[in-house]
Amino acid sequence: MYLKIFILTLTISLIYLKIADKFNIIDKPNHRSSHTTPTIRGGGILFFLAILIYFILSGFQYPYFVIGVSLIAIVSFVDDIVTLSSNVRLPFQFIAIGLCLLQIGFTLNNFLILIPLLIAGVGFINIYNFMDGINGITGMYSIVVLLGMLFINLKENIVSIDLIIYSLISLVVFGFYNFRKKARMFAGDIGSISIAVLLFFIGSYLIKELKSPLILLFILVYGADAILTLGYRKSIGERITEPHRKHIYQKLVHTLKLPHLKVSLFYAITQAIINVIVYFGYQLSLRNQLIILFSCIVVFVLIYVYLFRVIEKRKVLTT
């Protein structure tokens, strides 16, 4: 069955390449872009279609989650073609996250925790959406995060394994076009947002059922980079919704001139190491989990500050 899903996803990818080329769904480079040639965008539609294929073959499991991810995927795909205002996107994002929480088992009776989770969920998918800046980063990182969740789920059997594996297959197929020096397609908003909603759904489900805050470390590497970069941009008065090159992984590419795929692989491998810590620690006492959680966060904040200073010094020397 997995081989059939792989062949089906690969076929869909070939069809999408022709459709996107015909209808000019192209990401054209500008002064903030990390690419230099026009590239097909919206290739992350494969992630969304993998979820739909799972939904159909599973007998329509997780209907609220699928409705939510479908709504936000459609809006995001339109945003890939014609830029939409955040006033249009945000309501659908809140609806999508709300439906995920409903699917997990939260109700209006959980009002006090529901509102913070809604805000955190929408914040997470928007932060994850900022990731798609260099070749390989979204695909490699998402594969590693999903694999971490898969290994715990194989022990605990909380979320459908097929949902995770179908999504992994779509990421691998996407990687065939994206994990290269000159990418043939980018994930686009539909890809990064769809996979972010999926990660939020699975991660939140695991945290709720296992009562393990350590699951949060599955997004530590990019999460630390994204949040600290966000804080830095706010401190210098930048609009956080504007495209930029302030992430550490972008600085490694544009300032230190490291290859895209090496930087993406570095992020993925680093997150994989953290995943091992999560795998062997998620069943520890709450006290020990919190010690590990905050220790890892502190370490990565220090790493971020160190890398930021090194890169800024190199930037000054080269100018």
Q: Would you list which residues are annotated within the binding site for Mg(2+)?
A: 129, 189
Task: Report, as an integer, the average pLDDT of 105-110.
Answer: 84
pTM of the model: 0.94
Q: Work out the percent of the chain whose per-residue pLDDT is above 90.
A: 76
Query: What region does 25 belong to: left with phi over 0, alpha with psi -120 to 50, or beta?
Result: beta
What's the rounded mean pLDDT across residues 39-61? 95
Q: Taken in order 229, 294, 145, 200, is the CA torsion positive or negative?
A: negative
Q: How confident is the model at residue 240 (pLDDT cuts 50, 70, 90)?
A: confident
**C-alpha span between 115 and 175 (Å, rounded):** 36
Contact 296, 277 (CB under 8 A): yes
From CA 192, how far away is CA 194, in angstroms rounded? 6
CA angle 3, 45, 35 (to 5 degrees): 110
Give me the pLDDT at residue 244, please.
79
pLDDT at 36 (0 to 100):
55
**CB proximity list for 258: less than 8 A, separation 6 or greater:** 252
Q: Which residues of 234-243 are buried (b: 16+ CB within 10 A; e: fewer)?
A: eeeeeeeeee
> For residue 108, what pLDDT band results from cuts at 50, 70 and 90?
confident
Domain that holds residue 290: 2-318
Q: Which residues are annotated as a binding site?
A: 129, 189
Q: Are 78 and 48 in contact (CB under 8 A)?
A: no
- Lowest-confidence range among 15-19, 38-42, 172-176, 284-288? 38-42
* Whether residue 160 has pLDDT greater than 60: yes
pLDDT at residue 220 greater than cutoff 70: yes
Instruction: Give the list of residues 6+ apart from residue 179 with CB closer than 8 angstroms, or none.
Output: 135, 136, 139, 140, 261, 264
What pLDDT was estimated at residue 32? 54
Structurally, how many domains does the chain consist of?
Answer: 1
Quick one: pLDDT at residue 30? 55
Has residue 12 got a pLDDT over 90?
yes
Give the tens place of pLDDT for each residue, 123-158.
Answer: 999 999 888 778 999 999 999 999 999 999 999 999
What whole-number distance in Å separates Cα of residue 208 and Cα of residue 210?
6
* Buried/exposed code over 90-100 (b: 16+ C-beta within 10 A; e: otherwise): eebbbbbbbbb
Cα separation of 190 and 75, whole Å? Answer: 8
List beta partners, residue 39.
27
